[in-house]
Amino acid sequence: MGFIAIESNAVRKIVSERMLQSADYEKGQILADVLKEQKKGDFSIDVKVVTTASGIYLLTKEPDKKRMLVFDTSNFNGFKRNSNEVITILQKSCRLAIKLWDKIGHSPCEKIISGSSLIALLPFSFTTGKSYKVILDKAPDKERQEKRNESSFLIFSDGYETTNNTPVLSNFRKAKDAINSIDTENLFTSPKKDEEKSSYLRVNETDVFEKSSNPHMGLSNWIKKLTESQKKFVFSNSFGPDILKGAAGSGKTLSLILRCVVQLNKAQKEDKKLKAIFITHSIATKDNIENLIASNGGAEYINSEGQQSVEVTTLQEWCIKNLGNRIETTEYLDNDAFESKQLQLLYIDEAIDDFFINDYAGAVEFISPELKKFFNNDRWEISILLQEEISTYIKGRAGEDMNIYMSLPRSKNVLPLKTEDDYKTIFSIFNKYQDKLISLNLFDSDDITLSALKETSTPIWKRRRMSNGFDIMYIDETHLFNINELSLFHNLLKPNSNHIIFTMDRSQAPGDNTITKDDVAKELDATLAHEHGLNAIFRSSEHIINLASCVLASGAALFQGLENPLAESMSGHTSIVEERCNVPFIISKQNSHEVYKATFALADYMSENIGIQRSDVLIVPCTDKILIELKEYALKASKEYISIEKRGDNIAVSKAAEDNLYIIGGMEYIGGLEFSAVIIIGADADKFPEKRNYDGESLHFINYSSFNKLYVAITRAKYQVAFVTEKTQKISPLLETACEEGLIRYDDDLANTL
């Protein structure tokens, strides 16, 4: 067969049905098979497949025979790719055709080839190097079409090179002529009553579908709405080890929660004991996960004494609770692991100040040039890297033993220690930090984790694990845990068990590039874990995915350890939802005062323009300095706001929604949250990454971490992302490629009104 032809009404139906946005859905897979194998398939009530000797048609009951999108499959090979790529190519091609028919402007992934009627469509998320292109002719057989008052388009070529060759029109003309002989009335018979209740999605139901897809809808409703990939993971009988990978917004946490509830329900039905533990990173996310388990049918299992139970906890909470009450609440830095790490950083910073005041002048004569160069960096950035050194190497792997510490193999991107004196110098700073904790009678999170690791490795605890150990463990956001915490997890399970199910997106890890994905698998005893992947992104629009993918692709070109989970992802948004979205844009103002003023004005504009509360527009300062200054401006300008002070703090988000307040969140705290729009402030070349006395390893760490943070900030948004910058500065180097590729645009007209 030489062509696949889709008339314009069918084109509009296809882009409107959610179940056809990804091959992860059953209907999407059937549609992909139709295109790949050029055969009949039943994927929609409203669109039917008709096969002829020359090609196939996708038609509605009342087809528009004068406007079609035709794929010449004798030369176009896009439908020979994998199923998800086929669906992405189809959806992007259909959206381009609709824009041409409706005379709507092009998006950055649609490039007009000058001097011709051709358009190069880039259907996949941004990657470095040459991009795959689909070539569409918007005026094939132009004179003939104009005479007949027709407007059909031809896709005739694809590949990594751009072409301006004139397409062969024989298959296009066959498609145009043969459609007139098809009787569409007999294709659409009245459905029987039981068919009306089928799993097909009617187009006029799609908007309701979007609004009803909230995480608290209950397990019975979710069963109908999960993708096939999600279903495979959620309803798996395996107790692990299983790993669920996916980009931000792909539904990893929700899928893990549903997997937990499903397995507890199954155990209850079969009258089997199942004692589960669900570990998360902070108290704020713990509360949210408990609510989600309860609202999806698992309330009876939470902290139950019955046969089936689940304990939702942070790792630090569990350690404190199970250390035999030998540590009081006044003795640990903070009961929240994330806050504890922040306080730890402050004490390390004090130890470094002490070192520079009292010891540096003497040490500088003995340390290596590399370490001397490192010490010329900004003090706070030295503290961040030293925190990793203390946690991972000195306390974790060396057990605070100097000789072991010096003999350890080291990762690439850590402190540059070359000589024995280098190690002794760093160890002396560690001792200052440790002395500070001792004087205050405090334990940091590493002390607590490592103490628990030692205790749970004893013969007494191993015997207790036979009766009191957990049968299965679920870990959310594994990428946020350090090597010490990863080492402890399997000690919580019954002996010789590796029943661990966990989610991971290393691109969200906060610059912790000393830990690899192999480290995670090894520490969790999950080197043979069954890997599940989620490709469809349900949170973010196509424009936002492209921008986030560009940021990660730019970072991955610099840092070997930085992964891009968006490379093979596609948006799960229908065309109805995409109407609320636009290309990310930049508002530039003259100075910082004008930037802060415009930020709140832009939040009001987005709120009105999208039709959302102002609390659904997240304001994200790129640095702590900007965060402080923005809050000061808000106070003076009487702008009422809620500040997110804990990672994943849904309580703060709910409070802002109740009172319709502005909401501000620092980059470290916004992971796991979701908003309709995001405004990012301070992505200027002189501010982000922060320009201090960077050099060597510190520069590497901060740049790496900045790519992570920017990716997380961008992917909090569903519909729109905006940046507010200063006119006197260039855009941040992290966004230069995105600007060059047209994935972000300057909106001077809007800037002048704010």
Nearest to 444 by CA among 394, 510, 502, 398: 394
pLDDT score of 568: 52
Cis peptide bond prior to 241, omega within 30° of 0: yes
pLDDT score of 524: 62
**413 confidence band (pLDDT: 50, 70, 90):** low
pLDDT score of 546: 79
Beta bridge partners of 470: 493
Quick: pLDDT tens for 240-279. 778 887 766 778 888 999 999 999 999 999 999 999 999 9
Quote the tokens at residue 194: 């039981």
* Residue type at position 12: R
Produce one character per residue of 391-421: b if its CB has 16 or more CB atoms within 10 Å, e if not: bbbbbbbbeeeeeebeeeeeeebbbbbeeee
Roughly what angle, to the nearest 10 degrees, separates helices 337-358 and 420-439? Answer: 120
User: CB of 442 within 8 A of CB of 449?
Assistant: no
Q: Give the phi and the psi of residue 669 in degrees, each rounded to 5.
A: -105, -5
| Residue 630: count of CB within 10 angstroms of its CB | 25
602: left (phi over 0), alpha (psi -120 to 50) or beta: alpha
Quick: pLDDT tens for 324-369. 556 665 556 566 666 777 788 888 999 999 999 999 998 888 999 9
Name the one residue in this structure whose structure tokens are 């901060």.
702
pLDDT (mean) for 457-469: 81
To which CATH superfamily is domain 542-753 assigned?
A: P-loop containing nucleotide triphosphate hydrolases (3.40.50.300)
Quote the tokens at residue 282: 């902070």
**578 confidence band (pLDDT: 50, 70, 90):** low
Assess whether pLDDT exceeds 90 at residue 134.
yes
Residue predicted with more confidence, 163 or 126: 163
Assess whether pLDDT exceeds 80 at residue 617.
yes
Q: pTM score, two decimals? A: 0.61
C-alpha dihedral, 607 to 613 to 614 to 615, nearest 10°: -140
Q: What is the widest separation between alpha-carbon atoms in the chain? A: 93
End-to-end CA distance of the chain: 56
pLDDT score of 538: 58
What share of the chain in percent tops pLDDT 70? Answer: 83
* Burial of 594 (C-beta count, 10 Å sphere; 0-12/13-18/19+): middle
**702 confidence band (pLDDT: 50, 70, 90):** low
Cα dist from 671 to 249, 475, 567, 711, whole Å: 11, 16, 20, 10
Q: Please state whether beta strands 133-137 and 118-121 pair in parallel, antiparallel, or not at all (unpaired).
A: antiparallel
Quick: pLDDT tens for 97-114. 998 998 887 777 888 888
Q: Please state whether beta strands 675-681 and 617-621 pair in parallel, antiparallel, or not at all (unpaired).
A: parallel
Nearest to 346 by CA among 381, 379, 378, 383: 383
Instruction: Please state, rounded to an integer, the average pLDDT across all residues of the chain.
Output: 82
pLDDT score of 195: 42
Q: DSSP characters for 452-511?
A: HHHHTTSHHHHHHHHHHSBSEEEES-GGGS-HHHHHHHGGGBSTT---EEEEE-GGGS-S
CATH class of residue range 219-325+469-533: alpha beta
Q: Please state whether beta strands 55-59 and 48-51 pair in parallel, antiparallel, or not at all (unpaired).
A: antiparallel
Assess whether pLDDT exceeds 90 at residue 165.
no
